[in-house]
Amino acid sequence: MSATEALSRFRAEVGAAVTRARRAAGEAGERNAKLRERTSDLARQARERRVEPGASATSPDVRAAATGFRADRGLPVEQLPDAAELTAPPAPVPAETPPPVTLGSAAVAGPSGQLPRMSDDDEDFSQSRILY
């Protein structure tokens, strides 16, 4: 085998290896994208406290291991409710309270049909406010 043949064979093998590596990286990227999408959907459901029927809860040991893994690597750790909180019935919504009653008098329209001039001055004791 000549040097030219050996070099061309080497280049062909390297090219095939690079092609396989690119294909494997693409497939891994697709799997990771699907996993990230599924994980973000689950996190959104947990934040909204919405659980799909038949969903199984993650064990506390696995949650602790995942939290420790992310914390050790300096990654953000989102605090999500545990299974007991997600499956608990929603808290009752308090009834609306009426607005508080304001004591005192309000200005009424005077003889000209206009309300008295309002100002931010707390020491405004003008006759217009007293008369109207």
What pLDDT does residue 15 have? 95
Say if 111 falls within a structural domain: no
Say if 14 falls within a structural domain: yes
Q: Domain residues for 42?
A: 1-51
42 CB neighbour count, 10 Å cutoff: 15
**Whether this model's pTM surpasses 0.75:** no
Pick the range with the lowest mean pLDDT from 28-37, 93-102, 120-129: 120-129
Say if 115 falls within a structural domain: no
> Which tokens sit at 117?
């001039």
Mean pLDDT of the chain: 78
Say if 9 falls within a structural domain: yes
Say if 103 falls within a structural domain: no
Bigger pLDDT: 105 or 44? 44
Say if 34 falls within a structural domain: yes
Say if 44 falls within a structural domain: yes
User: For 56-85, what is each residue's pLDDT tens digit?
Assistant: 777 888 888 988 998 899 988 888 777 767
CA dihedral 111, 116, 117, 123 (to 10 degrees): 140
What total number of domains does the chain contain? 1
Contact 40, 75 (CB under 8 A): no
User: For 20-64, what is each residue's pLDDT tens digit?
Assistant: 999 999 999 999 999 999 988 888 877 777 766 666 777 888 888
